Structure 1
Amino acid sequence: MHYPRHRAARAPRRSSRGTTSPLVFVLLITVPAVVAVAALRAR
C-alpha cells in the first residue's frame, strides 16, 4: 500500500489587527513595573 508523501499542515495566518500579541501584553505589564522600581530605588 502506498501512502501519499506527508506534508506538514501550515497554520493559517491570522491578522494581528484587533488582537493583542503576547509580547505587547507582557511589555505593557513589565515596563511600568520596571519604571516604578527604578523610581523607588533612586530615592
Structure 2
Amino acid sequence: HIKIPETALSECTNCHALIRPHRVCPECGFYKGVEVIEIAAT
C-alpha cells in the first residue's frame, strides 16, 4: 500500500501558529524563543 504520510506539525511557542518541527516560524520569525529572522509588518 502506498500512501502519503501526514505532515507532523508543532505549535510555535511565540505566536502559537502551526509550523513544521525544527523550522523557523514563517509567521513571527522565532525559533525556540529566539528571533531568527525579522518579519515585515503588514
Query: For this structure pair, what is the TM-score category when the shorter chain's length is used for normalisation?
Result: under 0.3
Structure number with the bigger relative contact order (C-alpha 8 A, sep ≥ 6) is 2
> Bigger radius of gyration, 1 or 2?
1
**When you count strand as a share of all residues, which structure comes out higher?**
2
**When you count helix as a share of all residues, which structure comes out higher?**
1
Q: TM-score, normalised by structure 2?
A: 0.22
Q: TM-score, normalised by structure 1?
A: 0.22
